[in-house]
Amino acid sequence: MNDGTAGAEAVSLYESHRKVYPREVAGRFARLRTLAAFGLLGIFYGLPWLQWNGRQAVLFDLPARKFHLFGLTLWPQDFLYLSWLLILAALTLFFVTAVAGRVWCGYACPQTVWTEAFLGLERLVEGDRPQRLKLDKAPWTGDWLARKSLKQFLWISFAALTGFSFVAFFTPARELASGVVNLQLGGWETFWILFYGFATYGNAGFLREQVCKYMCPYARFQSAMFDHDTLIVSYDPGRGEPRGARKRSVDPKAVGLGDCVDCTICVQVCPTGIDIRKGLQYECIACAACVDACDDVMARVGYQPGLISYATERELRGEKTHYFRPRVLVYGGLLLALGIGFVISLSLRQPIGLDILRDRNALYRVLPDGAVENVYSLRILNKDDRAHRYVIETQPVGVFQVDADPVLVNAGEVLAVPARIRVAPGDVDDAPRDLRISVRVADTPGLVASHATRFFVPKQEDDDDEDED
Amino acid sequence: MDPRTEDEYPAARRWPPQLRVAAAVGWSSFLAACLGTMLAFAALDPQVIIDGVEGGEPGAAPWWLTPTGIYTLGFFLFWLIAVAAGVLTALLTRGPQADGDEH
């Protein structure tokens, strides 16, 4: 705000918000962007319907507190993996940003993708940029009303579908769909469909580039990952300036002009409404719409393409780009190490979990025959996709007798099992105070989970000097 | 900005400062609330709250007190707290120096 344009800024701050009308653009980056948008939207709307082993392939089943990701089921106990995954995602973003700039913003960010989709619907109904500009200035005729209503209808339907699809990641999609059809949707599901739908409508229909400019934290801190070797969308001022209109037959050098014909099409296509010729700006989401547009103009006037291009600052200065630099190596190394660690850890993850709670009412019970009994409540978690029988055991063996039958736990369920563990009268004095309780999967050798706990006996004199740990 | 594009195509769809602050607070607190909700409910099973309210009588809880309801209320509670922190930060950093910069 203190960049010397304070005067101009002060005026524009209070002017009414005027709308950006991005001009349609064709070219290789536009094709890539469309492809990415279709792919990502396809995943978002299609994934909830994909089945895997008889259940929804990707379902973050919050009420049941388990996340299904294809063959993998994650539990609250696996929270580490989720955090790990988020860290991996963040590191990937850092790495990609350091190498290729803001490709995330230009091609994959939901804000960009849904804005493209909403713009597409807008174009479908209201026409291309000049037509939209004209329509918005036109009086409210029947045609105006018809076009605006149709656009709103399409937008709202698309937003509602988006809200539905979002909730379908958390509630089984088929149940949700039948709930919608039969008007028997739960209150909270309805709320979230409307909430997410409304957020989509507002963000993609109206806020658009404002989200990137004023709300997105990544837009602000991505510059910290940039250096002279990062790919950015850049205008080559050495070649373009001085800009100016000219007749096609005129040799620009003869009249002292650069290659920029100042057609302003690069500005017209920009979804965030900036002029790339002013240099790199934080509003630039690196979508390369201006690259396509400018290449097209250059071809028409018979100049070389690439006046605006994906290039590093070093390239623009005529130097060679360094790909293997400390920043890239550090991000890349961390990413690789954490990624490999994640895969190894996930593949070694045992599909069994055990929690032990002591009986809160009594530390121990002395049985009529003098034996001492402690009661534990075991929570056996079967994270596997099929049912297993679990055998309860103790370490050390011998002294402790377990009074609990093997139990059957169904796939993906938690079973609370009381386990009575006894020490015979003669062994009470010598029984160790620390023990491990373990559950062993009867049909899978080596699959076992155990938990350390304490065994309490009636207080004895020689216990006094024992330290509690 | 080129006068031709400025006229029919204003690059700067600028927001007044108050709106910018509101948007920044709203969105950053939303992100914080997502994180907070994830952490809190990884440790806390909402069923515990429902069981506590029902006190051994299944069905005694009001209709909105479902796991999804508790996740939702928890999320909005986190959001509210984060918004409060953001609004306070905005208020406290709006010192005379900043005002001087703006005008």
Say if strands A448-454 and A51-52 run parallel, antiparallel, or are unpaired. unpaired
Hey, which residues 78-117 in chain A have their CB within 8 Å of chain B? 79, 82
What proportion of chain A, given as a percentage, has pLDDT over 70? Answer: 94
User: Does B12 reach chain A within 8 Å, measured CB to CB?
Assistant: yes
Which residue in A has a C-alpha nearest to residue B68's C-alpha? Answer: A63
In angstroms, rounded to a whole number, what is the distance separating the alpha carbons of residues A78 and A220? Answer: 32
Show the tokens assigned to A118.
């909403």
Which residue in B has a C-alpha nearest to residue A191's C-alpha? Answer: B72
In angstroms, rounded to a whole number, what is the distance separating the alpha carbons of residues A455 and A466? Answer: 14
Q: How confident is the model at residue A4 (pLDDT cuts 50, 70, 90)?
A: very low
* Residue A264, C-beta contacts closer than 8 angstroms, at least 6 positions apart: B2, B4, B5, B9
Question: pLDDT at position A18, please?
Answer: 57
User: Does B28 reach chain A within 8 Å, measured CB to CB?
Assistant: yes
Asked if residues A390 and A442 have their Cβ atoms less than 8 Å apart, the reply is yes
A-chain CB neighbours of B9 within 8 Å are: 20-21, 133, 264, 267-268, 273
User: Does A270 reach chain B within 8 Å, measured CB to CB?
Assistant: yes
> CA of A245 to nearest chain B CA: how many angstroms apart?
13
Q: What is the 3-state secondary structure (H, E, C) of chain A?
A: CCCCCHHHHHHHHCCCCCCCCCCCCCCHHHHHHHHHHHHHHHHHHHHHHCEECCEECEEEECCCCEEEECCEEECHHHHHHHHHHHHHHHHHHHHHHHHHCCHHHHHHCHHHHHHHHHHHHHHHHHCCHHHHHHHHHCCCCHHHHHHHHHHHHHHHHHHHHHHHHHHCCCCCHHHHHHHHHCCCCCHHHHHHHHHHHHHHHHHHHHHCHHHHHHHCHHHHHHHHHCCCCCCEEEECHHHHCCCCCCCCCCCCCCCCCCCCCCCCHHHHHCCCCCCHHHCCCCCCCCCCHHHHHHHHHHHHHCCCCCCEEEECHHHHCCCCCCCCCHHHHHHHHHHHHHHHHHHHHHHHCCCEEEEEEECCCCCCEECCCCCEEEEEEEEEEECCCCCEEEEEEEECCCCEEEECCCEEECCCCEEEEEEEEEECHHHCCCCCCEEEEEEEECCCCCCEEEEEEECCCCCCHHHCCCCCC
Contact B14 A15 (CB under 8 A): yes
Of the two residues A231 and A397, the one the predictor is more confident about is A231
Show the tokens assigned to A35.
């492809």
User: Does A187 reach chain B within 8 Å, measured CB to CB?
Assistant: yes
User: Does B90 reach chain A within 8 Å, measured CB to CB?
Assistant: no
Bin A386: left if φ > 0, else alpha if -120 < ψ < 50, else beta. beta
Most confident of A15-19, A326-330, A458-462: A326-330
Q: Residue A21 pLDDT > 90, yes or no?
A: no
What count of Cα atoms within 13 Å lies in the side-chain half-sphere of residue A307? 28
B-chain CB neighbours of A217 within 8 Å are: 27-28, 31
Phi, psi of A443, deg, nearest 5: -95, 0
Of the two residues A209 and A173, the one the predictor is more confident about is A173
A-chain CB neighbours of B45 within 8 Å are: 65, 76
For the residues A388-404, what does the mean pLDDT come to?
85
In angstroms, rounded to a whole number, what is the distance separating the alpha carbons of residues A402 and A419? Answer: 7
Q: How confident is the model at residue A152 (pLDDT cuts 50, 70, 90)?
A: very high
Contact B71 A62 (CB under 8 A): yes
Q: How far is CA A153 from CA A23, A145, A150, B25, in A?
A: 23, 12, 5, 31
In angstroms, rounded to a whole number, what is the distance separating the alpha carbons of residues A72 and A81? Answer: 12
The per-residue pLDDT of chain A, averaged, comes to 85
Q: Note the pLDDT tens digit of each residue in A366-382.
A: 888 888 888 888 888 88
B-chain CB neighbours of A188 within 8 Å are: 64, 66, 68-69, 72
> CA of A241 to nearest chain B CA: how many angstroms apart?
15
User: Does B99 reach chain A within 8 Å, measured CB to CB?
Assistant: no
Question: pLDDT at position A192, please?
Answer: 94
Cβ contacts below 8 Å, chain A against chain B, sum to: 99
Contact A18 B10 (CB under 8 A): yes
Which residue in A has a C-alpha nearest to residue B47's C-alpha? Answer: A63
For the residues A436-456, what does the mean pLDDT come to?
86
In angstroms, rounded to a whole number, what is the distance separating the alpha carbons of residues A122 and A321? Answer: 40
Which residue out of A189, A213, A216 would a mutagenesis test of the B interface target, given it has the greatest number of B Cβ atoms within 10 Å? A213
Q: Note the pLDDT tens digit of each residue in A51-107.
A: 988 889 999 988 888 888 887 888 887 888 888 988 999 999 999 988 888 888 889
Q: Identify the residue whose tokens are 């690439």.
A: A306
Question: pLDDT at position B13, please?
Answer: 57
In angstroms, rounded to a whole number, what is the distance separating the alpha carbons of residues A214 and B21? Answer: 8
Question: pLDDT at position B9, please?
Answer: 41
User: Does B26 reach chain A within 8 Å, measured CB to CB?
Assistant: yes
Q: Note the pLDDT tens digit of each residue in A304-319.
A: 888 998 888 888 888 8
B-chain CB neighbours of A214 within 8 Å are: 15, 19-20, 23-24
User: Does A216 reach chain B within 8 Å, measured CB to CB?
Assistant: yes
For the residues A171-189, what does the mean pLDDT come to?
90
Contact B13 A18 (CB under 8 A): yes
Question: What is this structure's pTM?
Answer: 0.78
A-chain CB neighbours of B64 within 8 Å are: 187-188
User: Does A215 reach chain B within 8 Å, measured CB to CB?
Assistant: yes
Contact B72 A188 (CB under 8 A): yes
User: Does A4 reach chain B within 8 Å, measured CB to CB?
Assistant: no
Contact B64 A187 (CB under 8 A): yes
Residue of B28, B63, B102 with shortest CB distance to A187: B63
3-state secondary structure of B81: helix
In angstroms, rounded to a whole number, what is the distance separating the alpha carbons of residues A389 and B88? Answer: 56
User: Does A1 reach chain B within 8 Å, measured CB to CB?
Assistant: yes
Which residue out of B5, B6, B9 would a mutagenesis test of the A interface target, given it has the greatest number of A Cβ atoms within 10 Å? B9
Asked if residues A96 and A104 have their Cβ atoms less than 8 Å apart, the reply is yes
Which residue out of B14, B44, B45, B50 would a mutagenesis test of the A interface target, given it has the greatest number of A Cβ atoms within 10 Å? B14
Asked if residues A213 and A221 have their Cβ atoms less than 8 Å apart, the reply is no
A-chain CB neighbours of B66 within 8 Å are: 63, 186, 188
Asked if residues A169 and A61 have their Cβ atoms less than 8 Å apart, the reply is no
Asked if residues A422 and A395 have their Cβ atoms less than 8 Å apart, the reply is no
Contact B68 A1 (CB under 8 A): no
pLDDT tens track, chain B, 103 positions = 444 444 444 444 577 888 888 988 999 999 999 999 998 998 888 888 888 888 777 777 888 888 999 999 999 999 999 999 999 999 998 766 545 454 4
B-chain CB neighbours of A215 within 8 Å are: 23-24, 26-28
In angstroms, rounded to a whole number, what is the distance separating the alpha carbons of residues A373 and A364? Answer: 6
Q: What angle do CA A130, A135, A138 make, to 5 degrees?
A: 125
For the residues A373-393, what does the mean pLDDT come to?
86
